[in-house]
Amino acid sequence: MTTTPARRILLVTHVGRPEAQQLAADVASRLIASGVGVCAPPDELVGTPLASVPGIEASPVGDATDGPDSSAAGCELVCVLGGDGTILRGAELSRGSDVPLLGVNLGHVGFLAEAEREDLDATVERIVSRDYTVEERMTLEVHAYEDGSPVFTSWALNEVTVEKASRERMLEVTVAIDGRPLSTWGCDGIVMATPTGSTAYAFSAGGPVVWPDVEALLLVPISAHALFARPVVLGPQSRLVVEVLARARGGGVVWCDGRRAVDLPPGARIEVHRSEQPVRLARLSHGGFTDRLVEKFRLPVQGWRGPAGAMMSDTRPDHRT
């Protein structure tokens, strides 16, 4: 008689990389041998090394919405092997479950990842022993309307963007904050980001880096033709509205984390605000966010000799990455 493991991990992997799939199979085998149950999305079990791991199960299908049908339902952790895109997919699969994510970077930058590939063995041991902490990251909720009727509802961990639909035309929008108009821009788009997303698209568009423990929203115009087109940092309770002008000759597209999208006609209205459902990230390290920036962006720090005197025993709260 087969005994169901008391613990269960959802394993999410980059589906287009055979190397990642083989690593996932090795991780699953080690976890199962340690008495930890492992499940994976059904599409990752078809024709992959994971399918041959004895004892692995298919997770519920789930979706990218809030609700009890999350693929991570009943799991204690979502372990993601891949880059930031795969981690964002893991966040979709765990949405609504309150289950934390732990990312192992197999990509390039991997800003959302907690461990690197060379740390994989130690990471598996930390998972087995439950040796990790959990922190919450704010997310965004977005609603799009056409002629006053809702046409799209979703969420984002990094950013919500409203972008032009046609390469040859600018997007014409009016942006409002807390019910008051801020500016009208002809631009390539608007990025509305969380602090977690400040190092993603918003950073590429010229926005500031915001420490993860700062509760704020970012508004970053993309290539706006205006004197006032600087990034704006807003309070976490601010509500943003972007209206695609009815006179605009082309419509736009709203994207959530670059993964979920809907086309917008002229006259569409997009409302963005803080979501009540955060994403929970599992953390293994105690290093500060400064170290993460230096490592991921390869910032030059030669010549730094460290703090002097009493500052060597700095006891300020640790701002985890």
Domain housing 212: 140-274
313 is a domain residue = no
Known catalytic membership, residue 84: yes
311 is a domain residue = no
318 is a domain residue = no
- Please give the pLDDT value at position 66: 45
Same domain as 267, residue 238: yes
Low-confidence ranges of the chain (pLDDT < 50): 1, 64-68, 310-321
How do residues 204-217 score in pLDDT, each as one tens digit? 999 999 999 999 99
- Please give the pLDDT value at position 89: 94
- Please give the pLDDT value at position 316: 45
How do residues 133-170 score in pLDDT, each as one tens digit? 999 999 999 999 999 999 999 999 999 999 998 777 88
Same domain as 125, residue 175: no
Q: Of the residues 26, 84, 213, 318, which is catalytic?
A: 84
Which domain-ending residue is among 79, 103, 131?
131
- Please give the pLDDT value at position 292: 86
Same domain as 124, residue 29: yes
Which domain-ending residue is among 234, 259, 274?
274
SS3 readout for the chain:
CCCCCCCEEEEEECCCCHHHHHHHHHHHHHHHHCCCEEEECHHHCCCCHHHHCCCCEECCCCCCCCCCCCCCCCCCEEEEEECHHHHHHHHHHHCCCCCCEEEEECCCCCCCCCEEHHHHHHHHHHHHCCCCEEEEECCEEEEEEECCEEEEEEEECCEEEEEECCCCCCEEEEEEECCEEEEEEEECEEEEECCHHHHCHHHHCCCCCCCCCCCCEEEEEECCCCCCCCCEEECCCCCEEEEECCCCCCCEEEEECCCEEEEECCCCEEEEEECCCCEEEEECCCCEHHHHHHHHHCCCCCCCCCCCHHHHHCCCCCCEC
Total structural domains within the chain: 2
- Please give the pLDDT value at position 319: 45
Report the CATH number that the domain containing residue 57 is assigned in CATH. Answer: 3.40.50.10330
Same domain as 246, residue 148: yes
Same domain as 263, residue 144: yes
- Please give the pLDDT value at position 4: 62
- Please give the pLDDT value at position 16: 80
